[in-house]
Amino acid sequence: MEIGMIGLGRMGSNMVQRLLNGGHKVVAYDRDDAAVSASAAGGAAAAASLADAVSRLTPPRGVWVMLPAGAITDAVISELADLLDAGDAIIDGGNANYKDTMRRGAALAERGIHLLDAGTSGGVWGLAEGYSLMVGGDADAYRRLEPIFQTLAPAPDRGLCHVGPTGAGHFTKMVHNGVEYALMQAYAEGFELLQARQDDFGLDLPAIARTWQHGSVVRSWLLDLTVRALEADPDLESLAAYVEDSGEGRWTVNESVELAVPTPAITAALYQRFRSRQEEPFGARLLAALRNQFGGHAVRESGGEARP
């Protein structure tokens, strides 16, 4: 098959290569000329613009958009809408908010253009391992483009699913990322507890993590990545305790509030990321002040000295 790929960042460029390896024709475009040249060197057809990319595809076309959520995705999909014809399909593989996806899908449907939202997991490992794909949108459009999804997936018969109408793919991926937050937090807390007794018991954290990889109920790919991280830097001295969030965890928690569905583990994991980015947070200082006020408990001055 042939597909257009718009957005050649780390994931987009790797997806281009996986599709080329699978025998597909890929027309690649990015505002970064160097990224386009790199994909062209790997075998993709280089496009000079969105219009050029569309012109190189045979109807009914498929155009995969792999861009950050928000204004840039809106702008590119809007421009593509003016370039495509009824029966063509846009695949949004980024981490868009599913409500934005539903809005975009409705607008495109008025022109007869399909929007497939492909929740995509796999990160920088996707080129070698394949991507987990949760796809929403018109079922017939999905079936037409299924060879593309099958090539990107770990195997043609696993790691991909048509989950429902437009919006369902990004909704499913949003929840997936919320679960990811909670799993990562559980590993982080467990290994911090082990590290706290490391000197007492002579604990070898990488060895413990490797042991858990086999036969344990907590074995997972995240645990495999934990092993890699600990083997490379057992005390993680090269890293700051500062954890970003890219938005999907917030959307998941917001959705849980809207639906009144409790998600305490996911919510706590999100809040822990917020806390990791604060130095000497005001709330903790107020807690210290209150203990001192009502109980006369000792506190520490901002310079670290204790005082009654």
Token digits of residue 38: 């790199």
Tell me the residue type at 222. Answer: L
Known catalytic membership, residue 146: no
First to last CA, the chain: 74
CA-CA distance, 265 to 220, in Å (whole number)?
18
Q: Which phi and psi angles does 304 have, rounded to 5°?
A: 110, -10
* Coil, strand or helix at 137: coil
Q: Which phi and psi angles does 301 have, rounded to 5°?
A: -70, 165
DSSP β-ladder status, 114-121 and 2-6? unpaired
Angle between helix 264-276 and helix 168-196 axes, rounded to 10 deg? 70
Catalytic annotation, pick one of 129, 173, 244, 301: 173
Known catalytic membership, residue 180: yes
Catalytic annotation, pick one of 25, 180, 189, 305: 180
Q: CB within 8 A of 231, min separation 6: which ones?
A: 206
Provide the annotated active-site residues: 173, 180
